[in-house]
Every structure is written in structure tokens, then in C-alpha cells.
Amino acid sequence: MKYKRKKRQKGNHRKIICIAGGCVAALAAVYLGVSFYFGGHYLPNTKINGHDLSGKTEKQAEEMFRGDVDGYELKLTEMNDAVETIAGKDISLTLEDSTGLQKAMKAQNGFLWPAVLFKGTEKNVDIGVSYDEQMLQEKIQSLQAVTAEQTQPVSAQPKYDGSQFVVEPEQYGTAVDMDALTQKITEAVSGLNPELNLEEEGCYALPAYTSDSPEVQQACDQMNQYCQARIVYTMSEDVVIDGSVISGWLTTDDQMQVVIDESAVRAWLENFGNTYDTVGTTRTFTTPSGKEATVTGGTYGWSINEDAEYDVIVEAIKNGEDLTREPEYYIGGTAASHSMPDWGTTYVDVDLSAQHMWYVVDGSVALETDVVTGEPIPEKVTPEGVYSILEKSRDEVLVGATDPSTGQPEYRTHVNYWMRVTWEGVGFHDAIWQSSFGGTRNQISGVGSHGCINMPLDQAAALYDMIEEGTPVVIHY
């Protein structure tokens, strides 16, 4: 059985092509028509400065923004959710031009409208508002956030907890950062933004360092290293500088660099000196005669060189050293004992009331004699205090002060034995011109000395042979 091939119907084929072509042409026409439409209208899903301008013309957009300007009000959300507002009418806010809207229109490509049907476009543009800057500044200055009492933020910082330095968290205050606040409000007004959250926009002053700042932990580590230092001064009892003391001397600067507080260290040294320095202090003691007495003044005693010790302490702290030391003293600033009386058991005692002196060696009287001391008038009185033998010499000529009326020394006196006590000219010496010693002879004008301790010749000779330079001399009433 034979089949016959059907002939293709050429007419139907041409009809299908024509229909398809017509659809394409129609779609093209629609596409072009819509594209040309968006040449003068904003593309779909277009938002400018928060406004949906889809399909709107520049004029419509301008009218929308003009309406925004007329009723504009900026809502300011402050700390603790407090709210204040700035109204456009209060700062003479007006719409100057719509250049920004025009630029946004020109920047879009109307032929790309299918691409934005499901993908929006958001932008912020300058729509050209104007306002009275002075009025805006006045509104800003009158805000409660500005006029209320301000508490400044406190940075995280090292804190000593009794055993080591740890990070103390930062504290946020209520102080406003005026530069940031002014800038953010100006930007919001210029863009007609309806709201501004001051905290979120960084309008409050922030602590320079937080708990997460590596500089704070580094400072803690360095301070803890400094606190490892230990300095022991061997006084009458040990005086220890360790972490409990050092921690009070450590602080940080604005750059979170560790600083050893010089004033704090020097204050500690001053107290240290006040405790152990004895030069010029009042001492209570028992004289060789058994009398209870006190003495104040003089040049003998302990005197710590605080400047030298400051350098030692700071260097030891920086290096984490462990030191045991006697403090450095000023020249002549040492004594026989840290316990009282600090002149020890070998000394000269001069009792101005009794006009008598004793030379005590190792606690026992080695020599004693009556003396004649200075006449009890200001220019001749023998000075009270604790001193020492500064120098010894034989065959000295003692020269008095110059007499203004004659231009000559008040006296030139030869002595066989001279034992100086002060650089102002007070000392022990023989006085062969004295007919006797002791009693109240020093109170007689012309008999009392010019301040020196006059001794019988044989006693002065004996003392000269026994005593050494540096021996303490206690002069008291």
C-alpha cells in the first residue's frame, strides 16, 4: 500500500511569521514607549532622600520636597530616649533649587527600566535648601542635651586591685561633642532628614580608650612589671618599697603611656626624711650628770640625700630590681646611731646652765671640767644644738668681727689648742686669761666669751689629745 506525502502549506507558515513579528514589534514599541516615558520620569523603585519618586516628574518631585520644607521638623533622639525637635520655620528653612533632583534624573538611563523593576535605587542628593545659620546655631545651643549638666566620659584605665593592675572599664558620660553635633544636625537639615539619633551618629563625647583598647592592657602589663621591684632600706627597722607602695606612684598620660609620678615619689622621700633625718630636730636625753634635758638645732645628725635616692628608686622600678641598701646621705649627714640619742656613746656634753662640760667615751666620762661660755646676749651667746668637731689645730690666732668704729677686729687672741664646732667661729680652746671657770662668770660683761667654750689650759690640752674630728658635741641648757 503506497502513501502519498502531503504538501507543506506555505500559507500557514507565512501567517505564523507575521504574527510573531507583530508581537516583537509591539513589545519593542512598548519598551521604547516606556523608555521614553522614563526619560522624563524617575525610574521604578527610585528613592531620593527617603522619598519614593517612582514615575514622578522633576516638578512633582520638587513640589513634594517643597512641601517637606514647609512642614519640616527634625526629631532629635537623645540619650535615655529623650526627644527634642528643630522646626524648619524656626530657622527660616526654604527650598532654593532642585539641582540635585535634576542631576538624579539626568543620571538615570530610561532604557534600563526593566532592570530596576525588582531592584530599587536609593540615593541622597543635595536639594538646595537654605536656612539662617545664626538661628540654627542658637537652636543647637538651646538644646537640653547641650544646656544640661555635662558628665565627661572616662576612659578605661589600669586600676590596682590590691595585688595587681587590672583594666577598669570605661564610663560613658552625657557630654556632647559640639563639633559632631553641629555637623550632624547641619547635614540632617540640608538633606531634610526627619530624624537624628545622637548616640548612633556619634554626637556624644566618647572615651579615648575602652576595655578593648590594647594600649590599656599594655599599660597594665608594664605597671605590673614595675611593681615587681623591691627596695629595702636598712634603718633602725627595715623600710620596704614594694608593689603596694609603687602602685600608688604609677599613672598614665593622655597617650596611655605609663608615668612614674615624680611628685608622689618625692612626697614619699620627704616623709622618709622627716622620719629618719635628725639634723636640727629636738632630742631628749640624759646628761652625764643625770639631768633630763632636750636639745634642738645644730648641724649634726642624719640627712638623707633625697635627690640621689629619687634616681635610685626610679631606676630600680623601671628595671624591676630587688635592692637592699642604706640611703645615700649628704656630706656630713650621718650620725653614730639611728636610735636616740643619735650621737651614740662617744660625745662632748656642754651644759650651758651648769657651765660644765663632759667628754664621754664609750659611755664613760673620760674628762670633765668647768667652762666659761658666751655672754648671754644675742651677738655673743653660745649656740644651742648638736654639732661635731670640724677641725683641730695648734697655736691659732682667733680674730673677732670688725669693729665699725675702728675698722679693726674686736680682738686677736692667741690660743694653744683650737677645736672648731661651727664654721661661724665657735669652738673649744684654752683661755689662760680667765681667772676661774664655772658658776655664772659667763654672765659678766667682758668675762663671758664671744660664743666659744673657754677651758682651763690643762683640760684643753687633754681634750685636744683625746678627741677626734667628727666627734659629736651636744650644747644645751
Residue 397 corresponds to which cell in the numbers above?
Answer: 690666732
**If you average pLDDT over every residue of the chain, what do you get?**
92
Here the contacts of 457-461 (C-beta below 8 Å, separation 24 or greater) are: 457/416, 457/430, 457/432, 459/367, 459/369, 460/415, 460/416, 460/417, 460/428, 460/429, 460/430, 461/416, 461/417, 461/430
**Amino acid residing at 424:** E
Query: Could you read off the pLDDT of 277-318 as tens digits, one per residue?
Result: 999 999 999 999 999 999 999 999 999 999 999 999 999 999
- Report the C-alpha gap between 56 and 280 in whole angstroms: 97
Q: How far is CA 157 from CA 62, 168, 242, in A?
A: 53, 5, 21
Weakest-pLDDT range from 32-41, 128-137, 158-167: 32-41
Query: Could you read off the pLDDT of 164-218 as tens digits, one per residue?
Result: 999 999 999 999 999 999 999 999 998 889 999 999 999 999 999 999 999 999 9
> Which pLDDT belongs to residue 46?
85
> Which pLDDT belongs to residue 120?
73
The CATH number corresponding to 347-476 among 2.40.440.10, 2.60.260.20, 2.30.30.100, 3.40.50.720 equals: 2.40.440.10
- Report the C-alpha gap between 178 and 145 in whole angstroms: 10
For residue 357, pLDDT over 60 is answered with yes
Query: Could you read off the pLDDT of 362-399 as tens digits, one per residue?
Result: 999 999 999 999 999 999 999 999 999 999 999 999 99
**Amino acid residing at 289:** S
> Which pLDDT belongs to residue 114?
84
> Which pLDDT belongs to residue 11?
58
Name the residue with higher pLDDT: 86 or 24: 86
Residue 79 corresponds to which cell in the numbers above?
Answer: 540619650
What's the farthest any 2 CA atoms get from each other in the chain? 184
Query: Could you read off the pLDDT of 87-105 as tens digits, one per residue?
Result: 999 999 998 877 778 888 8
Mean pLDDT for the stretch of residues 428-452 = 97
The CATH number corresponding to 218-325 among 1.20.1250.20, 1.20.58.340, 3.10.20.800, 3.40.50.720 equals: 3.10.20.800
| Residue 12 pLDDT grade (very low, low, confident, very high; cuts 50, 70, 90) | low
> Which pLDDT belongs to residue 64?
83
Q: Where are the domains of the chain?
A: 14-147, 218-325, 347-476
> Which pLDDT belongs to residue 109?
81
For residue 426, pLDDT over 50 is answered with yes
> Which pLDDT belongs to residue 141?
96
3-state SS string for 85-117: EEEHHHHCCEECCCHHHHHHHHHCCHHHHHHHC
For residue 417, pLDDT over 90 is answered with yes
- Report the C-alpha gap between 219 and 226 in whole angstroms: 11
> Which pLDDT belongs to residue 3?
47
- Report the C-alpha gap between 314 and 308 in whole angstroms: 10
